[in-house]
Amino acid sequence: MATFGAISLLVALILAAYNLVVGGFALFAIERKWQLGIPPARLADTARRAGITTFFGVSAAMFAIYWLIFKDDFSVYYVLQHSNRALGFWYKLASLWAGQEGSLMLWAWLLAFYGFILRITHKADVKLHAYAGVILAAVQVFFLILITFVSHPFLPTPGIEPGQVIADGNGLNPLLQYWEMVIHPPMLYLGYVGFTIPFAFALGALMMRYPGEKWIKITRVWTLVTWIFLTVGIFLGMHWAYAVLGWGGYWGWDPVENASVMPWLAATAFFHSVMIQEKRGMLKSWNVWLIFTTFILSIIGTLLTRGGLVSSVHAFAQSAIGYWFAVFLGIVLLTCIVTYFLQHNHLRTDHHFESMVSRESSFLFNNLILLAASITILIGTLYPVISEAVVKQKVTLAGPYYKIVELPIGLALLFLTGVGPLLAWRSTSLKSIRRNFIAPLIAYWVTAIALIIWGMRPLNDLSDCFAWVDFSLAAAVIVAIISEFYRGANVIHKQSGKDIFSSAYELTARNTRRYGGYIAHLGIVLVFIGFAGTAFNKNIEQELNVGDKLELAPYTLVVTGATQDSNDNYDSEFVLLDVMKDGKKVFDITPEKRLYRASGEPQTMPSIHSTALWDLYVVFEGVNPDTGQPIIKAFLNPLVSWVWIGFLVVILGTGLALIPSRKPQAAAVRSAQ
């Protein structure tokens, strides 16, 4: 089966190379109007079919690697390193992306799957799809070269004789043995790889001097769906870090966390900015470079982690694969620059900004802030590499750097989230500003004053200051979004006589893109409210014996005992604690410490009790060898639940924006007539 998998990869590489070379030649011949023995259009179609068949070649290799994993064939080194007999079904499934070779194979398969969909829908615009297909094939060839010749998943285990049976494998990394890690990496990869599609369309449209904004409309669904996948991946990664790593937080500015959020920020800027191009025909060059940047940041993220350039709990060991990614990144960047230089005249527009107080301007400022966030995160992530190259010493920029830089950027973004919907296209009148901004301003100052009365002191502490502004801005933005729904719903209410909630539903159904976007903005506000809670985190660490107490207002934790458990995969130790509030037991909590049998590695599993206001987060850090007493660390983390709720609302709003709008009944009748 390993031989079958290796041959399948080689066949897929040949097919992808055919798609690239023959498809590229056919398009060149069509542009030059060459007369060939075979019509160039027919030659291009054979290249498209080769691209379709590439998917089946990579799928055959995927089938082979999973066959080996589920059959516990440890004669293949990858299976030996990342699986074992006691591993459950879902974790065997996840072992594919536990290592570098399998991770790259998943990337190649998803790319082939996206390419399959693109090529079978080619009739939407045959020529543009042909260009996009060839560009996609170039990316596919790169990844297939990697897994066929550089980072091969079917290599035999060294030092074993033919027919020799290996007792067991090393097992899956304990950090990955959590349900979210079965979903999180594929979601991230669906996002990373998916951005190749709008990149291919944008580059192809520029190469062929494609007229109008049709390529944006074709790729809009691709971009939004891909963005949803990446958002879900980031959300699951944050929750996994919170539930498994045991440090009490959900975002630590780890290089791999940064690698996922950078293309997310650029893509967010892109699909806000394209609204201006669709509405006014402006920012054509800007939008092309935004999607180029999104794809390049996806590759940079892969270079940072898969190449082992930076230290991370997610990154693979340093290997020669980083040089391949660096070369590929250089080729991509050079191609984008040269193509833009040759074709940039095609992107000129006669339209210009008419006022700084307009929706176009708010979108542009939104773009600049999102890019500033992405660039500063990139600098912070690359700083260890830069410092080592310049001063021969690896210096890491930790939390304080991001706190100083990203918090003001985040607050500015939150501000524009509320301002944008209140501004009109082209120019906003003073009367409109007074009418639209008065309610959000009142909400801001009422909240700000109420927080000071409650006890917040923004002038005494930087964290309190940011939290104070965050909560006040969040209140203002929520009021602004609700006002937009109310104004539109009230018009429908007066016209139809429906109640205000039915009118709001009708309003949303008539313009799902706009009001789905508002719901997504509301989700972002809820996430920011959750982020602000970190300013009030509390934690305490203490050795406890049975009957000892740990105070963490408003709770008192009392150790009642300990217990053990085991299964074929790992042994567990639990500490049992009663949680008291006002002298009464309200619940119990049981943090866990695991020892995995195959790898011999320990793993901490925190126990978390969540409410709308705070999380009680308790970690069993092990036993003090000198005293024999368990060490308990407890955190009280305010408003964490609002981060998870906010992400769900973001995904709901973006999903709603994908649904086609329903025409008002009268308009539908006129359209039919």
Parallel/antiparallel/unpaired status of strands 592-596 and 570-581: antiparallel
pLDDT given at position 282:
75
Average pLDDT value for residue range 47-59: 94
Q: Determine what percent of the chain falls in helix, strand and coil, rounding each to the nearest 5.
A: 65, 10, 25
State which of 166, 196, 218 marks the end of a domain: 166
Distance, in Å, from the CA atom of 7 to the CA atom of 13, rounded to the nearest integer, reads 10
Q: Which of 314-323, 340-349, 562-571, 638-647 has the lowest mean pLDDT?
A: 314-323
In this predicted structure, the answer to whether residue 562 has a pLDDT above a threshold of 50 is yes
Taking alpha carbons only, the member of 599, 601, 552 closest to residue 577 is 552
CB atoms within 10 A of CB 550: 19
Closest C-alpha to 592, from 626, 630, 535: 630
The rounded percent of the chain whose pLDDT value lies above 90 is: 39
Which domain-ending residue is among 166, 191, 224? 166
Check pLDDT > 90 for residue 463.
no
Q: Which residue, 166, 191, 212, sits at the end of a domain?
A: 166
Q: What is the pLDDT of residue 106?
A: 93
Longest CA pairwise span in the chain (Å): 90
- Residue 670: the pLDDT is 41
Rounded to whole angstroms, the Cα distance separating 554 from 587 reads 13
Locus of tokens 């793993």: 603
Q: How far is CA 281 from the centre of its chain?
A: 29
Give the model confidence (pLDDT) of 382-430 as tens digits.
Answer: 888 788 778 777 777 777 888 888 888 999 999 888 877 776 666 666 6
- Reply yes or no on whether the pLDDT at 278 is more than 80: no
Q: Residue 142's pLDDT is what? A: 95
> What are the residues whose beta carbons fall under 8 Å from the beta carbon of 623, sequence distance 6 or more?
629, 630, 631
In a domain, 599, yes or no: yes
Q: What CA–CA distance (Å, rounded) separates 376 from 362?
A: 21
Tell me: pLDDT of 308 over 80: no
Position 501 in a domain: no
Condensed to tens digits (0 to 9), the pLDDT of residues 600-622 reads: 888 889 999 999 999 999 999 88
Confidence of residue 645 (pLDDT cuts 50, 70, 90): very high
Residue 667 pLDDT greater than 60, yes or no: no
Residue with tokens 């930790």: 398
Per-residue pLDDT for 246 more than 80?
Answer: yes
The least confident of 53-57, 63-67, 432-436, 503-507 is 432-436
Three-state DSSP class for 98? Answer: coil
Domain span at residue 608 reads 536-642
Sign of the alpha-carbon torsion through 136, 139, 144, 147:
negative
Average pLDDT over residues 540-554: 88
Q: Answer whether residue 244 is part of any domain.
A: no
537 by DSSP, 3-state: which?
Answer: coil
Per the listing, tokens 């973004």 go with 413
Q: Exposure string (b/e) for 515-536, b if CB count within 10 Å is 16 or more?
A: bbbbbbbbbbbbbbbbbbbbbe
- Any domain includes 13: yes
Q: Which range (90-94, 236-240, 288-292, 363-367) has the least confidence?
A: 363-367
The answer to the question of residue 328 being in a domain is no
Take residue 116 and report the two structure tokens written for it.
């399959």
- In a domain? residue 439: no
Per-residue pLDDT, 350: 64
- pLDDT at residue 487 tops 80: yes
Of 119-128, 277-286, 501-510, 516-525, minimum mean pLDDT range = 277-286
Q: How many domains does the chain divide into? A: 2
Residue 86: CA count within 13 A, CB half-sphere: 15
Report percent pLDDT > 70 for the chain: 92
Instruction: Examine residue 591 and state whether it is found in any structural domain, yes or no.
Output: yes
What is d(CA 213, CA 552) in angstroms, rounded to the nearest whole number? 58
Give per-residue pLDDT as tens, 149-194: 988 899 988 877 777 778 787 888 888 888 888 899 899 999 989 9
Copy the structure tokens of residue 405: 């830089």
Q: At what angle do helices 640-658 and 512-532 cross, to 10 degrees?
A: 170
On whether the CB atoms of residues 154 and 6 are closer than 8 A, the answer is yes
pLDDT at 315 over 60: no
Domain contains 582: yes
Pairing assessment for the beta strands 602-605 and 592-596 based on DSSP bridges: antiparallel
| pLDDT at site 233 | 92
| Tally of CB atoms within 10 A around 402 | 18
Average of pLDDT values for 90-103? 89
Place of tokens 């049981």: 590
Supply the angle between the helices 100-120 and 40-70 in degrees, to the nearest 10: 140
Contacts of 614 (CB under 8 A, 6+ apart): 533, 636, 637, 638, 639, 640
What is residue 394's predicted lDDT score, i.e. its pLDDT?
A: 77
